[in-house]
Amino acid sequence: MRHAFIAASTLSLLLAGPVCAKTPEQVAAAALAASPVFDGHNDVPEQLRDRRKNVLAGFDFNDTTGTADPAKGVAAMHTDLARLKAGKVGAQFWSVYVSANLPEPQAVQATLEQIDVMKRLIARYPGQLQFCTDSACVEGAWKQGRIASLLGMEGGHSIGGSLAVLRQMHALGARYMTLTHFKNLAWAESATDVPMAQGLTPFGKDVVREMQRLGILVDLAHVSEKTMLDAMAVAQAPVIVSHSNARAVNHHPRNVPDSALDAIKANGGIVMVNFYPAYVVEDTRQYNARRAGEEARLKSLGAGNPDAVKAGMAAWDKANPLPIGSIADVVAQIDYIAKRIGVDHVGLGGDMDGIENTVQGMEDVSKYPALFVELARRGYSQADLEKIASRNLLRVMKGAEAYAKAHAGDAPIENPTTF
């Protein structure tokens, strides 16, 4: 009888057909339902400053698709509440970026203004946004159906060479700082400026130490390889790279070299992949170099004749369309980092509203699900996708918070005033 029962059971299974596997769309949807996107870098505050001088009267963040100004060559914004919801974004680091060309005292003021305008924007939409400064708040906001909104400073010029200012920025809610932007500081070397004798000076290393004592994430986007390695030699808590890619795939100096990737793995940190073609696609980087060369050639030949240069560049642009890549190129970046140092060290930092174009398929913040579908199609599991979406960044935040809690009794690091 037992053998007959087994045979009958086997037959019924065969007749029922194969067990239905989840489609990539289903895997992606399940991952994002369990672990919504926690993006590392969005430049809405910059757009508010550039477009509106930080005046929010008349600004509707529910829908910004009508913010284009073709006469001025201004495109519509990438971000609004409707598209964040469609993109399954559950948490966002808003970049309170100010230009690295500003004198440092002015940069400090401008950063305060950017913190203010983003706090005011968040407060205007209490049903959809929640200001957060720690991981517990992020997870609580998700449970309430709100987008956790955190602040990150982009560039150490925002503290004006003062650890006292750093502490006050922390008190105002800043929870990461990118050590440099595109220019060197007196204490830190940028990836895109003239090389310095060292990555971080002794004061720069104190900045890293004080950031971690406070619980501010150390962000290594925009910094040189030397600065990355110097920072991680000092760091005792996990670091982030909020919006960069792998230099082995795209050789732009803004991207993370293998030496730093390996150090990030050892540190327990995370690299958050962005969507800017010049940093994602090597062909785009090469194109930009060719275009710059052609422009320099025309200016040399047409000195004193700017109209000829303009006409020549228009003809060149028409004959040489910009390659922008696609979601597949973003996946290639994620693949490289995940294979090199593990999927536990990958996240997303789209750089939306801080870039003039994106790879095809990632045109605005509503498009994240398409990326996750493609990752699922390439064999990433639901658990992998949950890590990339937000679990990895939450782990890093919790590590930084635990370090700060353990060192809450440490004395602040002091540096003398300069004026």
Which residues are part of the catalytic machinery?
A: 41, 43, 154, 181, 222, 243, 351
Q: How many helices (H) and strands (E) does the chain have?
A: 17, 9
Q: What letter represents residue 194's amino acid?
A: V
Q: Is there a contact between 44 and 122 (Cβ–Cβ < 8 Å)? A: no
Q: Which residues of 132-170 are buried (b: 16+ CB within 10 A; e: fewer)?
A: bbbbebbeebbeeebbbbbbbbbbbbbbbbbbebbbebb
Q: Which of 135, 57, 161 is nearest to 415 (CA)?
A: 161
d(C-alpha 406, C-alpha 329), whole Å: 41
Q: Which of 5, 27, 43 is nearest to 155 (CA)?
A: 43
For the beta carbon of residue 104, count every other beta carbon within 10 angstroms: 19
Residues 6+ apart with CB under 8 A from 54: 48, 113, 114, 116, 117
Q: Which of 265, 272, 269 is nearest to 399 (CA)?
A: 269
